[in-house]
Chains A and B, each alone.
Chain A
Amino acid sequence: MRGDRACALAAIGLASVYAWLGGAIQESLLSDAVGAQGVPRALAAALALLGALLLLRSFRSRASAPTAPEPWRAHGRALAMLGIAAGYLLLLPLLGYAAAISALVAAAASLGGARPSAGLAAVSVAAGAVLWLSFAKAFGVALPVGALWRHVL
């Protein structure tokens, strides 16, 4: 039931923010009868109503046996993985795609329990090389070269 209440409150909160942002949409002279704000307004109202119904249901339904909360350590590992992905985005313009993606593979695998070894290094470099060849060479995607290498080379 705690999950339902959290979901309902999140829905009501999101509906409020969405309605507030929707109110700031400019209306155009070309607009139709519904207008650019019309659908967002209806969606915000629908979401708020659904959230309220879920909240009501969570209070009316029988309380179930409380479930053990998940240890924060578990969420911490997910957060750390997210941090690695964010770090990759920050390093991308500096190190370039090939080096940054290899670093991402090494860091993410280490977080999962892979021990620092020649194997880990080999997998990271190989994954980076395969992805770079697939996207940059086969499909011609322009991937960042890296500001660092431009200065070095």
Chain B
Amino acid sequence: MHELAIAWSALTSTWAVPAAAVGVVWGIFGGALPGISPSIAMALLLPFTYGLDPVTAVVLLASTYVGAEYGGSIPAILIRTPGTNSAAATTIDGYEMNRRGEAGLALGISLVSGLVGGLFGLGMLVLLTEPLARVALAFTPPAYFALGILGLSAIAGLSGSSLLKGLIAATVGVMIATVGTDPVSGVARFTFGTAELLTGIRPIVAMVGLFAVSEVLAQVSEPAWQKVDARETRLKLPGWALSKRLLRPQAIGCAIGTVEGVTPGAGGTVAAFLAYNEAKRWSKAPDEFGRGSPEGVAAPEAANNVVTGTALVPLLSLGIPGSNSAAILLGGLLIHGLTPGPLLFERNPDVAYGLYAGLLVANVFMLLIGLVILTPCIWLVNRPKPYLMACVLALVLSGIYAIEQSVLDVAMTLGFGVLGYLMRRLDVPFLPMVLGIVLGGMVESSYRRSLVLSGGDHMIFLEDPVSLGLLICSLVLVAYSLRRDARRAPAAEAAP
């Protein structure tokens, strides 16, 4: 009760509420622009926080994070362009729903699931910070390796009709992740003497190329591409029956997002893909996934929005920023002379509890602002296709250039677009490739660090309890997927 009073006082005695509204609007705007990541949107506000009181400053930054994580799903659904890395999984079924003429419903599901995830993540942050912090501390290099393998096990479920082609795509993805600097010795690999490649190929460059540019190329190659379909023109929130159906994928997203969020370095992208895969596995209609399943939108959206709350657990409880966005928030705290970690709750309870209250307000603003802006967004993407696709191409090329002002990044995005176009023609799924790119670096670096720790003994992966548990989970999930596919194959052949 005392904490509630502190939170209320922090909200009402400062500019925290208007700051939450500004942060959410700014975050949605930044998150919807490919290339402007949540951390960039937050970093751009950092100089403005100098003159603000500490509570308003941290609420402004945290609200931007909430808005940006949600904003990434808007272009993912409407133009097949993930605005942020973590929105890539939403693209799969969100865009298919849009193509089916259900853009309004897809955006409504994304908004509601984002709200459910955001509030659940906040609840976890408030109630379970201490136990969740212990989960973060339990993650050693072998556990990170096993977590990466667990993520890669989703390939079996994301490969569509051919597991072999999915594995080829995933291997190529991991190969792409090896470009850059060797994680142990620091030697340059596959950089061709280019300094810009030393930091590797950014996942967003590959995702935007594979999803958005390949879509533009595929659309332009269709003879009747200038026709406009009759579509939903307004935002549509899910009804009671659909909401009940979405409870399970949302719960899966919340559970996975909680664990992934508190694990430093894992983040919303892995959470969203894992949640998508598990929602498909536990769905009563798994065949709808990839063809515009509402559950395929709900699970990843809930997962990546839970992360906005739980990613702050290591920061607030241990003082460790687990992601770029948490590092910017850490910067915001340090600017005001505040020490993150357990002492924050003792010395500056107004800031700590004010942040909790600010996150709650930010999630409410996310819903309200979403209700206002989404219908105009749908109107915008219902313009004649030649104009729409031209603007999509201009947006993605501008967004990718904005990351590092690099022409090479833009050229690589176009290259990935061509690759995506060819993969569509050869019926090769590109989601396993995206997963390989996202997880490849983590798997290799944690594998090699583990072996350095153990003196080359692979038993370290079985001796670490977290690693062992995650590896067993991976094996079980892959075996389950293979068994299910083997059962389905004869049924599909028997069908007329």
Q: B217 and A108: CB pair below 8 A?
A: no
Q: Bound complex: CA of A153 vs CA of B399, how far in Å?
A: 28
Q: Chain B 119-151, CB within 8 Å of chain A: the 1/0 string?
A: 000000000000000000000000000000000
- Asked if B222 is an interface residue, CB under 8 A from chain A, the answer is yes
Number of interchain pairs (Cβ within 8 Å): 190
The number of chain A residues touching the other chain, given as a range, is: 35 or more
A85 and B397 contact, CB distance less than 8 A = yes
B456 touches A47 (CB 8 A): no
Is the Cβ of B178 less than 8 Å from the Cβ of A43? yes
A65 CB to nearest chain B CB (Å): 15
The interface size of chain B toward A, counting residues with CB under 8 Å, comes to 67
Tell me the minimal C-beta distance from B63 to chain A in angstroms.
17
Q: B414 — which chain A residues lie within 8 A by C-beta?
A: 82, 85-86
Chain A window 104-124, contacts with chain B (Cβ cutoff 8 Å), 1 for yes, 0 for no: 111111111110000000011
| Most chain A CB neighbours (cut-off 10 Å) among B30, B184, B190, B414 | B184
> In the complex, what residues of B have CB within 8 A of residue A34's CB?
184, 447-448, 451
Report chain B residues within 8 Å CB of A142.
405
Query: Nearest Cβ distance between residue A125 and chain B, in whole angstroms?
Result: 12
Q: Which chain B residue shows the least CB distance to A128?
A: B394
- For residue B214, which residue of chain A has the nearest CB? A78
Q: Is A63 interfacial (CB-CB < 8 Å)?
A: no
Q: In the complex, A97→B174 CA distance in Å?
A: 34
> Given A3-B426, A28-B186, is A135 in contact with B221 using a C-beta cutoff of 8 Å?
no
Cα of A8 to Cα of B279 in the assembled complex, Å: 31
Q: A7-B165, A32-B451, A113-B226 are in contact. Are A105 and B221 (CB under 8 A)?
A: no
* CB-contact partner of B220 in A86, A105, A112, A128, under 8 A: A112
Across the interface, which residues of A come within 8 angstroms of B29, CB to CB?
134, 138
Restricting to A54-112, which residues have a CB under 8 Å from any CB of B?
A: 54, 57, 70, 74-75, 77-78, 80-82, 84-86, 88-89, 92, 97, 101, 104-112
Is the Cβ of B168 less than 8 Å from the Cβ of A28? Answer: no
Chain B neighbourhood of A43, CB < 8 A:
171, 174-175, 178
* Contact of A141 with B by CB under 8 A: yes
- Check if B175 sits within 8 Å of A104, measured CB to CB: no
> Which residues of the other chain, B, contact A21 by a CB distance below 8 angstroms?
190
Binary contact track B424-451/A, C-beta < 8 Å → 1, others 0: 0111100000000000000010011001
Whether the Cβ atoms of B216 and A81 lie closer than 8 Å is yes
* A54 near B164: Cβ-Cβ < 8 Å: yes
Tell me the residues in window 142-189 of chain B with beta carbons closer than 8 Å to chain A beta carbons. Answer: 164-165, 167-168, 171-172, 174-175, 178, 182, 184-189
The distance in angstroms between the C-alpha atoms of A33 and B393, with both chains bound, is: 45
Q: A18-B175, A26-B187, A40-B178 are in contact. Are A114 and B384 (CB under 8 A)?
A: yes
| A14 interface residue (CB < 8 Å to B) | yes
User: Which A residues touch B217, using CB under 8 A?
Assistant: 78, 81-82
Interface centre among B30, B220, B389 (most CB of A within 10 A): B220
- List A contacts of B418 (CB < 8 A): 82
B366-402 Cβ-contact flags toward A at 8 Å (1 or 0): 0000000000000000001111011101110111011
Q: Which residues of A contact B492 (CB under 8 A)?
A: none
Whether the pair B168, A54 counts as a contact (CB closer than 8 A) is yes
* Residues of chain A contacted by B197 (CB below 8 angstroms): none
Q: How far is the CB of A13 from chain B (nearest CB, A)?
A: 12
Picked from A3, A40, A139, the residue with its CB within 8 Å of the CB of B427 is: A3
Asked if B411 CB lies within 8 Å of chain A CBs, one says yes
- Complex Cα distance, B114 from A143, in Å, reads 33
Q: Is B357 interfacial (CB 8 A cutoff)?
A: no
From the candidates B182, B222, B384, name the one contacting A36 in the complex (CB within 8 A).
B182
Nearest CB to that of B427 among chain A residues?
Answer: A3
> What residue in chain A is nearest B393 (Cβ atoms)?
A108
With A30-B186, A112-B389: A7-B171 Cβ-Cβ less than 8 Å = no
Q: Is B218 an interface residue (CB 8 A)?
A: yes
Query: Which residues from B are CB-within-8-Å of A3?
Result: 425-427
The answer to whether B451 touches A33, judged by C-beta atoms less than 8 angstroms apart, is: yes
Contact across chains for A127 and B394 when beta carbons are under 8 A apart? yes
Our pick among A47, A110, A114 for the contact of B168 (Cβ within 8 Å) is: A47
**Residue among A10, A50, A123, A135 making CB contact with B167, cutoff 8 Å:** A50
> What 15 additional pairs, Cβ within 8 angstroms, besides A131-B398, A139-B41?
A7-B168, A21-B190, A25-B187, A77-B220, A78-B220, A84-B393, A85-B397, A101-B394, A104-B394, A108-B390, A108-B393, A112-B385, A127-B390, A135-B402, A141-B402
The 29 sampled A-B contact pairs (Cβ below 8 Å) are: A3-B427, A22-B190, A25-B182, A28-B182, A31-B187, A33-B451, A34-B451, A43-B175, A43-B178, A51-B168, A54-B168, A77-B220, A77-B221, A80-B220, A82-B417, A84-B393, A85-B393, A89-B407, A92-B407, A101-B394, A112-B220, A112-B225, A112-B226, A112-B390, A114-B387, A127-B391, A128-B394, A139-B41, A141-B402
Measuring CB to CB, which residues of chain B are less than 8 angstroms from any residue of chain A?
29-30, 33, 36, 40-41, 44, 164-165, 167-168, 171-172, 174-175, 178, 182, 184-190, 213, 216-218, 220-223, 225-226, 384-387, 389-391, 393-395, 397-399, 401-402, 405, 407, 410-411, 414, 417-418, 421, 425-428, 444, 447-448, 451-452, 456
The 7 lowest CB-CB distance pairs between A and B, nearest first, are A112-B386, A108-B390, A28-B185, A113-B226, A109-B390, A36-B182, A74-B221
